[in-house]
Amino acid sequence: MIVCKFGGTSVQDAEALTRLAGIIKERIGRKPVVVASAMGKTTNGLLEAAYTAAQGKREDARLLLRELEKKHSDEAQKLGIATYENCAYCNCFIGVRKDEARELLRKLEKGQSIEAQRLSISAHEDCVYEKIYKYFSELHKLIKGLSALGELTPRITDAVASHGELLSTAILTQALRNNGMDAVLMDARECILTDENFMRAAPVFGPTNAAIVRYLQPVLDVGRVPVFQGFIGRSQNGTTTTIGRGGSDYTAAILGAALNAEEIQIWTDVDGIMTTDPRMVEDARKIRAVSFQEAAELSYFGAKVLHPSTIIPAVRKNIPVRVLNSYRPEQEGTIITEKAPPCENPVKAVSFKGGITVVKVVSARMLMAYGFLEKIFEIFARHKVPVDVVSTSEVSVSLTVDDASAIDNIIEDLKKIGEVSVESGKAVVCCVGDNLNNVQGALHTAFEALRDIKIHMISQGASAINITFVIDENRLAEAVRGLHKAFFHKTDPRIFE
């Protein structure tokens, strides 16, 4: 059994969904579980409608929803899925407005047997257009409530955002059926059980794993293709949650680990993990194989192919993760395993992220003091802000964060233990490779590549496979190109393509 996750660009329109159906059909013998994100830009559109409604612009929000509804209906029709008025189950609705359809169905069912009525309703609810109509009816109710409330809470944000995946998987399931596969639409909220940290909910693994096996295994056992939403779940009291942007990768890994998959496939719009972002460096190369540890470092420090948490469940079960291109499915992609093959190059990839803030705390009390660092990190933990890079001296601590939303409150708390200074407009750039510690002169090579760029912080040694630099963000492109040129002028053909 394999898990195949498809991102937004892989399900963005009818053409992409047709290509996806072909990919799944080729792998039908491997018992695929399909995990899908929302159609491209849908989540952004839903959140824009929610923000607009919360600002009191209800009509503008309704127009945004109508555009999204039309997009989903149009793409479904391009796939050959019959229109709502003339679908296989609703042919009695030809020429009837959607808002009249339910009442007409009730009238037509009068006099039918209870069993016939049940079958009719069941078939009608299987209609893609019925689902689209249902989900957008729910969204319009949420928009109406938001315009009255005037506040977009994390809980409502999750309720709105979850509809993107619900819509895409409803259309995708029918697309797979139209291509001869026995696909069945599943509801991720039945088994991805989380805490109530809305917008960034964490799965509760014990109940989640048991629910996944109970919910999905019977479907796989009879040879059907489960279609599952990424990104969404529910709290244990039944409230819809999301596990953060990019969380569909995480969903796929959770499913794969619970079901003991032979492989987890992440289908995206690039050929695999690259030596750096090809938009930054034109001659970036594809990496054939990386270790779990390398992939974790790359994703955490800015590589956008994988969600940072994706590989955690896979690591625990030692399940290979393969990154593939849905636009070029014939490519072998990048395989991520516990231990990657040996590589002559000291560095596998150069990763980076901008929008970094440096926080520096200076206090004479730090000298020879116990618990000083603990107090600093406790403050960041209390505000739920993760720290990226840390550097210390006798009386000072410098660290970086990429989420500055709570920085003012953090500063106020830090001032109680020392003098605080903050610098924004920074970037993190790092060189990652399993062989980094084994090749003499690698650090010298990196410094030489950055010789004309001011380095504010450096971290080397905390991770044996990572050298990290903090620089000014306006020099980021220059730094990435310089490091890539220095480390990839010659490449190991066994690892790089």
Burial of 51 (0-12, 13-18, 19+ CB in 10 A): middle
Specify the pLDDT at position 82.
Answer: 60
Neighbours of 19 (CB within 10 A): 17
Specify the pLDDT at position 439.
Answer: 82
Q: State residue 5 phi and psi, 5-degree precision.
A: -100, 135
Regarding predicted confidence, which is higher, 187 or 300? Answer: 187
Domain ranges of the chain: 2-337, 349-487
Specify the pLDDT at position 119.
Answer: 42
Q: Tell whether the model's pLDDT for residue 166 goes beyond 90.
A: yes
DSSP strand pairing (390-392 vs 396-401) = antiparallel
- Decide if domain 2-337 falls under CATH 3.30.450.20: no
Map residue 443 onto helix, strand or coil: helix
Q: What is the mean pLDDT of residues 131-151?
A: 93
- Residue 54's contacts (CB-CB under 8 Å, 6 or more residues apart) are 146, 147, 149, 150, 151, 152
Specify the pLDDT at position 114.
Answer: 41
Residues 328-357 pLDDT 10s: 999 999 999 988 898 999 999 999 999 999
Residues 62-109 pLDDT 10s: 999 999 999 999 999 999 886 555 554 444 444 444 555 555 555 544
DSSP strand pairing (321-325 vs 334-337) = antiparallel
pLDDT confidence tier of residue 462, bands split at 50, 70 and 90 = low
Distance of CA 165 to the CA centre of its chain: 12
- Decide if domain 349-487 falls under CATH 3.30.2130.10: yes
Alpha helices by DSSP H, listed for 259-371, are 292-300, 311-317
Distance, CA of 8 to CA of 304 (rounded, Å) = 13
Neighbours of 423 (CB within 10 A): 15
User: Would you say 386 and 359 are in contact if contact means Cβ atoms under 8 Å apart?
Assistant: no
Specify the pLDDT at position 121.
Answer: 43
Neighbours of 464 (CB within 10 A): 12
Distance of CA 28 to the CA centre of its chain: 25
pLDDT confidence tier of residue 260, bands split at 50, 70 and 90 = very high
Q: What is the mean pLDDT of residues 229-249?
A: 90
Residues 194-226 pLDDT 10s: 999 999 999 999 999 999 999 999 999 999 999
Distance, CA of 189 to CA of 166 (rounded, Å) = 10
C-alpha atoms less than 13 angstroms from C-alpha of 429 in its C-beta half-sphere: 29
Specify the pLDDT at position 190.
Answer: 96
Q: Tell whether the model's pLDDT for residue 113 goes beyond 50.
A: no
Specify the pLDDT at position 106.
Answer: 54
CA dihedral 20, 25, 27, 31 (to 10 degrees): 110
AA identity, residue 461: G
DSSP for residue 9: G
Q: Tell whether the model's pLDDT for residue 118 goes beyond 50.
A: no
Query: What percent of the chain stands above pLDDT 90?
Result: 69
Specify the pLDDT at position 331.
Answer: 92
Regarding predicted confidence, which is higher, 181 or 133? Answer: 181
Q: What is the DSSP string of 253-264?
A: HHHHHHTT-SEE
DSSP strand pairing (466-472 vs 455-460) = antiparallel
Residues 358-407 pLDDT 10s: 999 998 766 556 777 888 999 999 998 989 899 887 788 999 999 898 99
Specify the pLDDT at position 102.
Answer: 54
Please, which residues bridge with residue 470 across strands?
A: 428, 457
Specify the pLDDT at position 99.
Answer: 53
Specify the pLDDT at position 93.
Answer: 43
Specify the pLDDT at position 306.
Answer: 77
User: Would you say 192 and 232 are in contact if contact means Cβ atoms under 8 Å apart?
Assistant: yes
Residues 417-443 pLDDT 10s: 889 999 999 999 999 998 888 888 888
User: What's the mean pLDDT when you consider all of the chain?
Assistant: 88
DSSP for residue 36: E
Q: What is the mean pLDDT of residues 42-66?
A: 96
Indicate left, alpha or beta for 158 from its phi (over 0: left) and psi (-120 to 50: alpha).
Answer: alpha
